[in-house]
Structure 1
Amino acid sequence: MIEQTLTVSRVEPGTVWLVAEEKPACAGCNGKCGSQIFSKLFGSHKKALPIACEEPVQIGQKMTLRLDDSKVVENALWVYLLPLAMAFAAMFITHLFLQAAEPWQILAAVLGGLVGFQIAKQRTKALRHDIKVIKIYPISLPLTQIDGDCAK
């Protein structure tokens, strides 16, 4: 099971929109690693995840969700391996059976990869993930007194 704590960003009747908090990169490389560079290049816009929820929640509240990870590997195989396999199959068929020149083999590989991508896209669209709300955290009360500050 995969668990993640998210923050409520928008509330609609029957639907709660959640946003994940950005995880900071390690400080070991002082921002010169690939992770930090890609973060700067592609920005940090956050996507909101809609979840069906009938519980009363407020913006800013935290929720912990659980995802059944049994389908994650299967989805990864469809998304990553099918386009690659289709590209290789199209290239080999063009080379072995049609005796085509290299530019035609490259074109066939690109077309095969695109067909594989479209098949994988349709296949993963039909999948429904079993996401369950594990815990809804209460909104914190404002801190008015810190331990040790009171007069004795």
Structure 2
Amino acid sequence: MIEENARVVAVEGEVAWVEAERKSACGSCEAKGGCGTGSLSQVFGTRSNRMRVLNTVGAAPGDTVVIGIEESALVRGSVAVYLVPLLALLAGGVFGEHMAGQLSIAVQVGGVVGGLGGLGVGLLWLRGYTHRIAGDPRFQPVTLKRLAPVFPIVELKG
């Protein structure tokens, strides 16, 4: 399970909207002085990502929670987003080059057109895949636990 701390900003039924601050490993890297990524993170600063999670601990807005997602879901998602469209692009390019000779067009033109077609097919497949897994709880991040507030809330009377 991959875990991250986040702050709950809204609750809608069994779903919570949380914000987690983007983190960069640049602060601990020894090459941070000459690294472009480190320089960009200093220029753009830290931003928070808002995401939808299953609220399994009954968190309320303002709570700090630990959210998590299964490693296998992250790996499957990464393969679907990055590898499938890339392989479809390459397969389409090879197919386009092969068909260029039979269609009497330049091999490069066939490769480019075939590659773009393959990329389009890969992206269409990705769209269908994301719609299929959208409701699957195995692919959803969940709240794992609520953390104690940093500053205790004191109620003043009087």
Under TM normalisation by the shorter chain, which class is it? 0.7 to 0.9
The one-letter amino acid paired with 2:147 is: Y
Question: 2:67 is matched with which residue?
Answer: 65
Q: 2:148 aligns with which of 125, 138, 150?
A: 138
Return closer, same or farther for 1:118/1:42 CA change in 2, 3 Å cut-off.
farther
Give the ranges of 4+ consecutive aligned residues of structure 1 lying more than 6 Å apart after TM superposition. none
Residue 119 of structure 1: SS of its match in structure 2? helix
Q: Distance in 1 between matches of 2:43 and 2:123?
A: 25
Identity in percent = 21
User: Which structure has the bigger radius of gyration?
Assistant: 1
Distance 2:110 2:148 in 1: 61
**Amino acid in the other structure paired with 2:78:** A
SS of corresponding position for 1:98:
helix
Gaps of 5+ in 1: 144-152
- Determine the C-alpha separation between the residues in 2 that align with 1:83 and 1:14: 33
Cα distance per residue 1:53-83 (max 9 Å; x no partner): 3725242x21012212223222222222221
Deviation (angstroms), 1:43: 6.5
For residue 130 of structure 2, what is the aligned residue in structure 1? 124
Structure 2 CA distance for partners of 1:22 and 1:87, relative to 1, 3 Å: closer
Alignment coverage as a number of residue pairs: 142
Whole-Å Cα distance in 2 between the matches of residues 13 and 72 of structure 1? 25
Is the Cα–Cα contact under 8 Å of residues 11 and 17 in structure 1 kept in the other structure?
yes
Note the 1:25-40 alignment, pairs <5 A.
25-26=26-27, 28-29=30-31, 32-39=34-41
- Normalised to the residue count of structure 1, the TM-score between the two structures is 0.73
